[in-house]
Amino acid sequence: MQRVELLIIFATVAGVLILLALRRSRDGEHGGPVLQVVVGSAIGLTAAFIVLVLNVDLIPDQVESTIGPFVVVAITSIAIVGTVLRLARR
């Protein structure tokens, strides 16, 4: 299950970066080499993090089970607030 979660995290990070790069190039702003370095570095750091997580237990299981629900609530709250603010601008 952990591998699936890590794959989802990687796919999300890579997808968001690719979408941002495509959106920026569609608007006529070419990031050039700087954008390529940022996207490549972020994907590389995410991949390195995933390899590290698979080999080392960074967060003890007891702490993970306690903090997990709070992280989910925080991320969901941020997504809801962002959605409401974006809809309010329209």
Contact in structure between 58 and 52 (CB atoms under 8 Å):
yes
pLDDT in tens, 18-76: 888 877 777 666 667 777 788 888 888 888 888 887 788 777 778 878 888 898 999 99
How many whole angstroms separate alpha carbon 64 and alpha carbon 71? 10
Per-residue pLDDT band at 7 (split at 50, 70, 90)? confident
Integer Rg of the chain from CA:
17
How many whole angstroms separate alpha carbon 31 and alpha carbon 13? 19
For tokens 């603010």, what's the residue? 85
Write out the two tokens for 88. 């309010």
Amino acid at site 29 = E
Amino acid at site 56 = V
For tokens 């590389």, what's the residue? 44
